[in-house]
Chains A and B, each alone.
Chain A
Amino acid sequence: SQQGEEDPQALSIQEGENATMNCSYKTSINNLQWYRQNSGRGLVHLILIRSNEREKHSGRLRVTLDTSKKSSSLLITASRAADTASYFCATDATSGTYKYIFGTGTRLKVLA
Chain B
Amino acid sequence: DTAVSQTPKYLVTQMGNDKSIKCEQNLGHDTMYWYKQDSKKFLKIMFSYNNKELIINETVPNRFSPKSPDKAHLNLHINSLELGDSAVYFCASSQDAGGMGSPLHFGNGTRLTVT
Contact of B104 among A41, A86, A90, A96 (CB under 8 A): A90
Measured CB to CB, the closest approach of chain B to A103, in angstroms, equals 9
Interface assignment of B1: CB less than 8 Å from any CB of chain A = no
Closest chain-A Cβ to B13's Cβ sits at a distance in Å of: 20
Set A31, A50, A97: member contacting B56, Cβ < 8 A: A97
Partner of A92, one of B4, B43, B98: B98
Q: Please report the total number of B residues contacting A with Cβ < 8 Å.
A: 29
Is B98 a contact of A105 with CB atoms below 8 Å? Answer: no
Interface of A: prevailing SS: strand
- Cross-chain contact B108 with A100 (CB below 8 angstroms): no
Contact assessment for A105 and B107 in the assembled complex, using a CB-CB cutoff below 8 Å: no
- Interface magnitude class on chain A: 20 to 34
Tell me whether A69 is interfacial, beta carbon within 8 Å: no
Q: How far is the CA of A101 from the CA of B33 in the complex (A)?
A: 12
Candidates B48, B55, B106; contact of A42 at CB < 8 Å: B106
Asked if A100 and B101 sit within 8 Å, CB to CB, the answer is no
Q: Kindly state whether residue B97 has any CB partner on chain A within 8 Å.
A: yes
Question: Which residue on chain B has the smallest CB distance to residue A104?
Answer: B42
Q: Which B residues, 91 to 115, have Cβ-Cβ distances below 8 Å to chain A?
A: 92, 97-101, 103-109
Q: Is B50 an interface residue (CB 8 A)?
A: yes
A98 to B98: give the CA distance in the assembly, Å. 4
Scan residues 69-112 of chain A and give those whose CB is less than 8 A from a CB of chain B.
Answer: 86, 88, 90, 92, 94, 96-102, 104-105, 107
A-B CB contact pairs (8 Å), 30 listed: A30-B98, A31-B99, A31-B101, A33-B103, A33-B104, A37-B41, A40-B108, A40-B109, A41-B108, A41-B109, A42-B107, A42-B109, A43-B106, A45-B103, A45-B104, A45-B105, A50-B101, A86-B41, A92-B98, A92-B99, A97-B56, A97-B98, A98-B31, A98-B48, A98-B56, A99-B56, A100-B104, A101-B45, A102-B43, A104-B40
Chain B residues within 8 Å of A, Cβ to Cβ: 4, 31, 33, 35, 40-45, 48, 50, 55-56, 58, 90, 92, 97-101, 103-109
